[in-house]
Structure 1
Amino acid sequence: MQLERSQLVKAYRLMRTIRAFEERVFTEFEAGNIPGFVHLYSGQEASAVGVCMNLSDADRIGSTHRGHGHCIAKGVDVRGMMHEIYGRRDGVCTGKGGSMHIADFDKGMIGANAIVGGAPPLAVGAALAAKTKGDGSVAVSFTGDGGSNQGTVFESMNLAVVLQLPVIFIFENNGFGEGTGHDYAVGSKDIAGRAAAFGMPAVRVDGRDFFAVNEAVAEAVEHARAGKGPYTVEVTCKRFGGHFAGDAMLYRTAEERERTIRDDDPLKIFRAKVVGAALLTAEQLDEVDSEVAALIDDCVRTASEASFPTAADLEKDVYVKY
């Protein structure tokens, strides 16, 4: 599947934005400027972007506690996200959600989720609504390798097959469920194979490679839109940092982490492919880098100057009124 140059630029801009956003969030968190905890997505950019480049605002995604990359790839406003993580009143969730609960229904982002394995049941619900309305949309859930072992995830996959729902289950296998290795915690050692046993197509792809993810998910989305039921894609990737910012990572060697950052960087791999194939120039990509850096700097500046929610805001946004 050959993408147009404008699509390639968009893909790289999204991946670079995720990386720059996460690196700056880490810096600001370390400086004490951001409340709570943050779980960063660096190293997994090709997964979120490869998936979401196949989706529209009408398609819905459910995310994880490591959700910043999914939000950005789905089109959630980066400035609004930074303000939200800073806890400011004009954040995308009025400063009350924070890092692990960003949502933007207008963009089809139904929420990052601090509950491990929380997205699949929500995505199944969204897919049931799509099938009932017949609007042609699909739903996507993102889950980590740790979350793949949750009972609610298995129930969701089974129900999706029984009802033949237009839902795609994305399992981002970054090797660690918090601090527990995938090879220990997943008995079958094969998340995609386990998903296939429920009765749906399931594939495993190299999550370092945007093109591999994008192509696999394009096929999954086409399958779901055509009314053929659910699909699973296991994306193997490597997170650069710990489970959360400040994690001592005693379960990883320094050599393994250095090797990961050196050899498994999705942005480096993307640049090498598109420049090597003369699809884009290094100068074009460098220009994107500069533009993104300026955007993130400005987002931090405005977030640090923005207002916090007031006491009068306390009871707002608590209950939905129909």
Structure 2
Amino acid sequence: MTHSHAVLPEKKDGNRRRLLIAVIVIAAFMALEVIGGLISGSLALLADAGHMLTDAAALFMALLAVHFARRPANARHTFGWLRLTTLAAFVNAVALVLITVLIVWEAIRRFYQPQPVVGTTMLVIAFAGLMANIFVFWILHRGEDEKNMNVRAAALHVMGDLLGSVGAILAALIILWTGWTPIDPILSVFVSCLVLRSAWRLLKESINELLEGAPGAIDIAALKRKLTAALPEVRNVHHVHLWMVGEKPVMTMHVLVVPPHDHDALLERIHHFLMHEYQIAHATVQMEYRGCDGHECDLHDCGSHHGHHH
């Protein structure tokens, strides 16, 4: 049995600076929208602030991932602190769901009991929020760092918030032109649905990772078939365990092979397949020359002893 941990290129300091700028800008304008929403009485602004909170949280977690990925593992935390970002995502998602429920509840109440809204204040702050999102989106797409998966995902999250800012601007314009204030709670519900969609996806992904679930993007059954077909020496792939630690997929598996002339070369080909087909850089592969007992690696079979023949 052997283990390989391919060394991934270290995230550049440029990513960290861009993400830090983005977090500061988004957090500042989120606070501005909260204050503006309270002053103007606009629920749409508060809903958009909730959406900007999802952006700030996503950017902050991306920044944490960049920072904690650089910290070495130790004897107690053998994977380092990468799972901290998952825990933060879970707490953030639960908070966002609660915020969305409160905003929708208030929107329903305001629809039946309209409240005065200061359209001019609402318009100015909503437009400033839109400019902030455009600026952050531009920052995250500058230079070669746009190819970084972490940064690209954060940028896509920010792009979704542009729609919320546009909605708040439309509500402000309608109120200024027509004086019809119910458009404010109506659009706040629409923006809240965007928040809930992002929060629900984040909640599912974080729970799946905390429960050591396999990433949805990787089909384990297909991986086993493709590996067997790609390498003639591989007869069977079993006892596959795949989970995520931060952004990194981690795998262990048993591979039944025809006894090779060059053990290390075959092992290198297996790791090459995992890395280039599935971007799995951290894999522990146990090569076997005869089949093992189907229950000897069952985590639920606490009474069995684990022994392997090579």
Q: Give me the TM-score of the superposition, normalised by structure 2.
A: 0.29
The structure that has the greater radius of gyration is 2
Question: Between Structure 1 and Structure 2, which shows a larger proportion of helix residues?
Answer: 2
Q: TM-score normalised to the size of structure 1? A: 0.28
